[in-house]
Amino acid sequence: PESLLRDDSTDLTPRIRLARVALDLIGRIPTEDEFLRFEENDHLDPMIDAYLDSEDFKNFFFHRARTELRSRGTEESDEPARLWTYIPTNDLSNRELFTADYSIDSSWRKVSRPPEHGPTGILTMKDYLVSKPGLPKFTYPAQVLTFAMGLQFEVSDAVEEARQKVVSTTDPDSMCYSCHKLLTPLAYQREGWDAEGNYRTVDDEGNHIDDSDRGVIPDYPFKGKGLGAFATQVVKKELFVRSFVNLHNDMLFHRQLRVHEDQRDEYKKLYDFSLENGLKIRPLLKK
């Protein structure tokens, strides 16, 4: 076990090297036949390719996607994880996770969605919407921005106290502004979807819902109507690519890259590689 977990792999035996790769990619120890095939030539590339093309990879990735997205194991709650798994197994860009205008059913078939979803991927899937309030708690925008861009939001005691006095969280002079310049307009863009994940055009009082960003932040980077406007713009941002690299590095190595410290060069190589490969997941995992 100690040798499997070491960072330095230069002097590991071929069997241990292959075992580490198999555990990372498919969640199991190699079979005896796989060990023998590897020992014949000592080249990892063909073994990695075989694992990435296997049903074992699909099943293990799905397991990890379900964990990351907190699936409850039902067909409906698995919908976001199915899309995330469909993306690498069909060599699609990870941007599809937020911009797909389709879903993946329980038989792993690509199926259309009603037009109100638009290019929103998991963002308007019912189970991704429920239990994440938009206004006034801002749970939904906070979790979306953390997942898509790696941003962190902390409600400290000072923030709690300030909430009693703040007139507007979108006032540039407010201590809340640094977070709410993103949280508030995104919460408005989610307004077309209720707390149960159902689409609506009028609120409980029968008033028309404005699900645009409402112009509350003049330089809001994801302006437009609905979550589709947010989704199609956020996937072009540098922070989206960084989050993509870090999320999948964490899948393999159980930690994020130290992008501002000693792993800056490694991160830059992976960042450039990801862009060159259209943010495809399997090439990044192999790299």
Q: What is the DSSP string of 144-212?
A: HHHHHH-------HHHHHHHTT-S-TT-TTSTTHHHHHHHHHHHHHTTTB-TTS-B-SB-TTSPBP--B
Angle at 151 between CA 148 and CA 153, to 5 degrees: 125
Q: What pLDDT, on the 0 to 100 scale, is given for residue 273? A: 97
Q: Is the pLDDT of residue 127 over 60?
A: yes
CA 88 – CA 244 distance, rounded (Å):
13
pLDDT band at 204 (very low <50, low <70, confident <90, very high): confident
3-state secondary structure of 273: helix
Mean pLDDT of 103-121: 97
Helical packing angle, 32-41 and 14-26, nearest 10°: 130
CB 194 within 8 A of CB 200: yes
Higher-confidence residue: 135 or 274?
274
Q: Where are the alpha helices (DSSP H) in the chain?
A: 2-5, 14-26, 32-41, 44-52, 55-68, 79-89, 96-99, 126-129, 139-149, 157-163, 177-189, 226-234, 238-253, 264-276, 281-286
212-243 per-position pLDDT tens digit: 999 999 999 999 999 999 999 999 999 999 99
Look at residue 130 in the predicted model and tell me its pLDDT: 92
Q: What proportion of the chain, given as a percentage, has pLDDT over 70?
A: 92
Higher pLDDT, 155 or 40: 40
Rounded Cα gap, residues 222 and 232, in angstroms: 8
Rounded to whole angstroms, what are the CA distances from 29 to 14, 143, 254? 13, 34, 18
Chain-wide mean pLDDT for the chain?
91
What is residue 5's predicted lDDT score, i.e. its pLDDT?
Answer: 46
Under the banding of pLDDT at 50, 70 and 90, the label for residue 163 is low
